Copies of this chain bind each other. A is one copy, B any other.
Amino acid sequence: MAVAEVMNDSAHKARFDNLNSRVKDVWNDIFNTSKMVSAIRDGVVDPRLYALYMIETYHYTSHNARNQALVGVQAKGIHPNYMKFCFHHAYEETGHENLALADVKSLGLDIEPSSLPKPLPATEVLIAYLYWVASNGNPLQRLGYSFWAESSYEYINPLVDKIRSSLNLDDSQLSFFIAHSEIDSKHAEEVARIMVRHARTDEDWRDIEQVMVTSLKLTGHVLDDVFETYEAVVSGTCADYPFLDRLAS
């Protein structure tokens, strides 16, 4: 795998080993405590749970290209190559939220962006944080988000497979995850290369690590918020998603 080569060949191998180890720790925390992960692993997946998760995915993904480009817009005195990375990466991420929405609709839901409720609080917090780190502090720090996000599929794929089989989905209904898996290794490699090239100080690597850990934890909170909302939908105490009723068994 190309990304592994970049990490291992580089003088920064210890840096990458540390980042990878911390990512693994946070994922393990999430997997060990998340009721949503347990629910997916342990039984039949309720399509409403999956739909709720993909709706939040739609929401935060619709900001990813924007907050990625914002790094290049705002940061003073960054190297043109890093600036080009920001804009090109933004270009490649643009519109991916529509894949997430199409996948939700493929479950048989007749929804449009305008019919969706606002993001859940945890999703708003994640979005807010990504804009903040994109426009304040170390311009390199948002790479910490890309670092785990671009290589999250080794953690997420088993869950996606469980969802796929449980809900009988075909590839065209998993366009978001499949599209991302495809550009995954390419992007992960680019992110690693950019870090090798532009992260020079201990502080650079610490700032990247802090955003990496924090943004992954906040993503874990999104899962929690999704599951709590799912339970409220099922129990009838949350009426914000009437369109999910047709998925109830």
Contact = CB atoms under 8 A, between A and B. Distances in A.
Interface of A: 65-67, 69-70, 72-73, 80, 83-84, 87-88, 90-91, 94-95, 98, 118, 121, 124-125, 127-129, 131-133, 137, 210, 213-214, 218
A165 to B, nearest CB: 31
B132 A128 contact: yes
A133 B131 CA distance: 12
A132 B127 contact: yes
A148 to B, nearest CB: 15
B132 A124 contact: yes
B69 A72 contact: yes
How many monomers of this chain does the complex have?
A: 4
Q: Which 9 A-B pairs have the closest CB atoms?
A: A128-B132, A80-B95, A87-B91, A87-B90, A121-B214, A128-B129, A69-B69, A128-B128, A66-B73
Main secondary structure of the interface of A (DSSP, over half): helix
A174 to B, nearest CB: 20
B124 A129 contact: yes
A149 to B, nearest CB: 17
B73 A83 contact: no
Contact of A218 (B72, B94, B125): B125
10 contacts: A65-B87, A66-B72, A69-B73, A83-B94, A84-B95, A87-B94, A88-B91, A121-B214, A128-B129, A128-B133
Contacts of A67: 73
Given A69-B72, A72-B94, A128-B132, 13 more contacts: A65-B87, A69-B69, A70-B73, A72-B90, A80-B98, A87-B88, A88-B91, A121-B213, A124-B214, A125-B129, A125-B214, A128-B128, A129-B129
